[in-house]
Amino acid sequence: MITTAQRNFLVNYAVDQLTESVIKDNGYDLTSALNTVYNSKVYRLLQDSEGELYTQSSSYLYELLKQEIQ
């Protein structure tokens, strides 16, 4: 079983990776990229401890986010 601290670390890492990808692929500034990530369905799902989406790879999460953005 994963601790709350470990889950929070994984979620924060995922947010960092998603933000970097949004900046790189879309040319967003940091604030816009963070707004995109934090206001996404993917972020809400990352917060769900039962869904365990936070255990998925950064590339998988970014694919989900790209689909949502489009």
| pLDDT tens per residue across all 70 residues of the chain | 899 999 999 999 999 999 999 999 999 999 999 999 999 999 999 999 889 999 999 999 999 999 999 8
Residue 56: phi and psi, rounded to 5, are -80, 165
45, 51 contact by CB (below 8 A): yes
pTM of the model: 0.92
Element (H, E) at 17: helix 4-26
Residue 57: which of 46, 70, 67 has the closest Cα?
Answer: 46
How large is the angle between the packed helices 30-38 and 4-26, nearest 10 degrees?
A: 130
